[in-house]
Amino acid sequence: MDPVRNPYAPGAGQRPPELAGRDREVRQFGVVLERVAAGRPERSMVLSGLRGVGKTVLLNALRSLALSRAWGTGKVEARPDRSIRLPIAQALHAASRELAPRHRDPERVEEFLGVLKAFALESSLKDRKGMRWRPPYDVPAIRGRADSGDLELDLTELFAAAAEVAGDLGVGAAIFIDEMQDVPPADLSALCGACHEISQRAVPFIVVGAGLPHLPTTLSAAKSYAERLFRYVSVDRLERDDADRALTVPAGTEDVEFEPSALDALHEVTDGYPYFVQAFGKATWDVAPRSPISADDVKVAAPEAEAELAVGFFGSRYERATPAEREYMRAMAELGAELADRPIPTSEVAVRLGRKPQSLSPARDGLIKKGLVYAAERGSVAFTVPHFGSFLRSQRA
Q: Where in the chain is the domain with CATH 3.40.50.300?
A: 23-234
Alpha carbon separation from 329 to 231, 319, 326, 356, 386 (Å, rounded): 32, 12, 5, 16, 14
> Measured between alpha carbons, how far is 119 from 145 in angstroms, rounded to an integer?
8
Helical spans, DSSP H, in 12-78: 23-37, 55-68
Q: What is the DSSP letter of 223?
A: -
| Residues contacting 44, CB < 8 A, separation 6+ | 195, 199, 206, 207, 208, 209, 229, 230, 231
Q: What is the pLDDT along the chain (397 residues), one digit of tens a residue?
A: 888 999 998 877 788 888 999 999 999 999 999 999 998 889 999 999 999 899 999 999 999 999 999 999 999 999 988 999 999 999 999 999 999 999 999 889 999 999 999 998 876 655 556 556 566 667 878 888 988 889 999 999 999 999 999 999 999 999 999 999 999 999 999 999 999 999 998 899 999 999 999 999 999 999 989 988 999 999 999 999 999 999 999 999 999 999 999 999 999 999 999 999 999 999 999 999 999 999 999 999 999 999 888 888 888 888 889 999 999 999 998 888 766 557 889 999 999 999 998 999 999 999 998 889 998 778 899 999 888 888 888 876 5
Homologous superfamily of domain range 23-234: P-loop containing nucleotide triphosphate hydrolases (3.40.50.300)
CATH class of this structure's domain 238-318: mainly alpha
Q: Where in the chain is the domain with CATH 1.10.8.60?
A: 238-318
> Measured between alpha carbons, how far is 192 from 182 in angstroms, rounded to an integer?
14
pTM of the model: 0.90
Output b/e per residue, 227-254; b: 16+ Cβ within 10 A: eebbbbbebbbbeeebbbbbbbebbeee
Q: Provide the pairing of β-strand 230-234 with 44-48.
A: parallel
CATH 1.10.10.10 assigned to 321-396:
yes
